[in-house]
């Protein structure tokens, strides 16, 4: 609320180390569908929707992304991968049908060597509601033990065979955003490259 005082009891001041939060907080590392790019595979269908455009994913459609781990991230903690999507006008028609999303990610710190990508599974079932904003989480988190802030994640989001979604092209499930929840323990790094 506007005018509420900042609760300084929730901050520990540690001299030359600056501000560190007593509790950790959560934020989103957002990768909106509009910032994803095609390459190396079949691009999804662009669907006119609510005065904008979204991507309907047929089986084997894919988009790529790159993102950087923020300076505010609590070093060593896991990244919780999820997808925001919508059945758009197909909610009722696809009630009870599943969507098999997959994301391949290669994550590395500065000066590290990119490893082979790991595949994360995100399967969701449509609940029959048109235009619903859905969120589905990966079954496994991305380990933060070998990462550092300003590390990079290279990824590919796609659908695979085996789900039961019937519609294709303009009737395919639509991606809104790839997203990672991460913990924050400081407002940023104390120095440009040192936490």
Are the C-beta atoms of 88 and 131 separated by less than 8 Å? yes
pLDDT above 90 covers what percent of the chain? 74
C-alpha–C-alpha distance, residues 27 and 181, integer Å: 6
Which residues, in sequence order, are bridge partners of residue 29? Answer: 180
Range of the domain at 49: 22-184
φ/ψ of 123, rounded to 5, equals: -110, 130
Strands 62-68 and 152-159: antiparallel
Confidence label for 1 from pLDDT (cuts 50, 70 and 90): very low
Are the C-beta atoms of 89 and 130 separated by less than 8 Å? yes
Kindly state whether residue 190 falls inside one of the protein's structural domains. no
Kindly state whether residue 1 falls inside one of the protein's structural domains. no
Q: With the C-alpha atoms ordered 86, 91, 94, 95, is the resulting torsion angle positive or negative?
A: positive
Please, which residues have CB within 8 angstroms of residue 54's CB and are 6 or more apart in sequence?
Answer: 33, 46, 47, 86, 88, 174, 175, 176
Kindly state whether residue 86 falls inside one of the protein's structural domains. yes
C-alpha–C-alpha distance, residues 183 and 180, integer Å: 10
DSSP for residue 48: E
pTM for the full predicted model: 0.86
Q: How far is CA 6 from the centre of its chain?
A: 30
Check residues 37 and 170 and name the one with the higher pLDDT.
170
Kindly state whether residue 17 falls inside one of the protein's structural domains. no
What CATH number has the domain bearing residue 105? 2.60.120.260
User: Model confidence over 80-124: pLDDT tens digits?
Assistant: 999 999 999 999 999 999 999 999 999 999 999 999 999 999 999
What pLDDT does residue 124 have?
98
In what helix (H) or strand (E) does residue 181 lie, and over which residues does it extend? strand 174-184
User: Model confidence over 103-115: pLDDT tens digits?
Assistant: 999 999 999 999 9
Kindly state whether residue 10 falls inside one of the protein's structural domains. no
* Domains identified in the chain, total number: 1
Mean pLDDT of all residues in 13-30: 76
What is the average pLDDT score of the chain?
89
Kindly state whether residue 174 falls inside one of the protein's structural domains. yes
C-alpha–C-alpha distance, residues 103 and 82, integer Å: 9
Kindly state whether residue 166 falls inside one of the protein's structural domains. yes
Kindly state whether residue 173 falls inside one of the protein's structural domains. yes
What pLDDT does residue 20 have?
74
């Amino acid at each position: 609320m506007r005018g509420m005082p900042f609760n300084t009891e929730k901050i520990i001041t540690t001299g030359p180390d600056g501000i560190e939060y007593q509790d950790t907080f959560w934020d989103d590392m957002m990768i909106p569908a509009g910032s994803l790019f095609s390459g190396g595979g079949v691009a999804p269908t662009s669907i006119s929707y609510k005065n904008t455009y979204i991507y309907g994913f047929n089986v084997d459609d894919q988009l790529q992304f790159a993102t950087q781990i923020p300076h505010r991230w609590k070093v060593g903690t896991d990244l919780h991968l999820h997808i925001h999507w919508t059945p758009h006008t197909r909610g009722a028609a696809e009630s009870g049908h599943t969507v098999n999303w997959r994301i391949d990610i290669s994550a590395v710190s500065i000066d590290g060597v990119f490893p082979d990508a790991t595949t994360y599974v995100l399967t969701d079932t449509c609940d029959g509601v048109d235009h619903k904003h859905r969120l589905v989480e990966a079954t496994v988190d991305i380990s933060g033990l070998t990462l550092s802030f300003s590390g990079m994640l290279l990824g590919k989001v796609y659908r695979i065979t085996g789900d039961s979604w019937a519609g294709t092209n303009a009737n395919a499930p639509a991606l809104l955003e790839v997203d990672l929840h991460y913990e924050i323990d400081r407002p940023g790094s104390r120095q440009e490259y040192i936490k």
